[in-house]
Amino acid sequence: MPVDVLLVIHIAVLGYWLGAEFVINSEFRFVCRAASMPFEERKRLMEHVMDVDQHVRYALVLQAGLGTVLSALLGYFPGGTTLAWAAGLATVLWLAFVEFVHRQRHGASGRKLALLDRLVRYVLLAALVLGGLAAVFGALALQTWLAWKLVLFGSVIACGIGIRYYIIQFFG
């Protein structure tokens, strides 16, 4: 696939991500503020929030994967096509895992799978922020704009983790 196409997809995924975030924010606020709504209806709507949240999860995985593939193909990360193919495969496997976690969320293994899913995000968050800051301060050879992009992407993931804890409290 030509790099230009991957760049367009990388940008489009950001719009996909933000759109899903706006839906989640709107619906979650509606459910939380609808004090007169019966609990069962609120619970049903929160299940819909979790379904829409899958799109945010997909977008995070796609952004991480596409960003790595593009950085490798454009020479910003070492590894070239080998890293690009490895990142592509890892992205497909991670997407499958995210979907599996979502489908199993009410099952016996749901909580453990969700914890594992969050642990993957913690590792990615740490790698992005620490790697980006290391590059900003000259310990890694990355362009400054890319280093800050990694730090900001890690910050977005941190926000998502914080939101997830808030949603977990709702489901208690």
What sign has the CA pseudo-torsion 140, 146, 147, 153? Answer: negative
pLDDT at 33: 85
Extended beta strands in 1-146, E state: none
pLDDT at 104: 92
* Those residues with Cβ within 8 angstroms of residue 2's Cβ, 6 or more apart along the chain or in another chain: none
Cα dihedral 129→126→159→167 (10° resolution): 170
Q: Rounded to an integer, what distance in angstroms lies between the CA atom of residue 154 and that of residue 136?
A: 14
Residue 164 pLDDT more than 80? Answer: no
pLDDT at 47: 86
Domains of the chain: total: 1
Residue 25 pLDDT more than 90? Answer: no
pLDDT at 62: 97
Average pLDDT over all residues of the chain: 92
User: Over pLDDT 90: what percentage of the chain?
Assistant: 65
pLDDT at 172: 60
Q: Rounded to an integer, what distance in angstroms lies between the CA atom of residue 116 and that of residue 53?
A: 17
pLDDT at 24: 86
pLDDT in tens, 100-139: 999 998 889 988 998 999 999 999 999 999 999 999 999 9
The whole-model pTM stands at 0.88
pLDDT in tens, 60-86: 999 999 999 999 999 999 999 999 999
Q: Rounded to an integer, what distance in angstroms lies between the CA atom of residue 151 and that of residue 125?
A: 9
Q: Rounded to an integer, what distance in angstroms lies between the CA atom of residue 97 and that of residue 116?
A: 10
- What domain range includes position 96? 3-171
Whether 6 contacts 69, CB under 8 Å: yes
For the record, the structure tokens of 93 come out as 């496997």
pLDDT at 50: 85
Extended beta strands in 5-95, E state: none
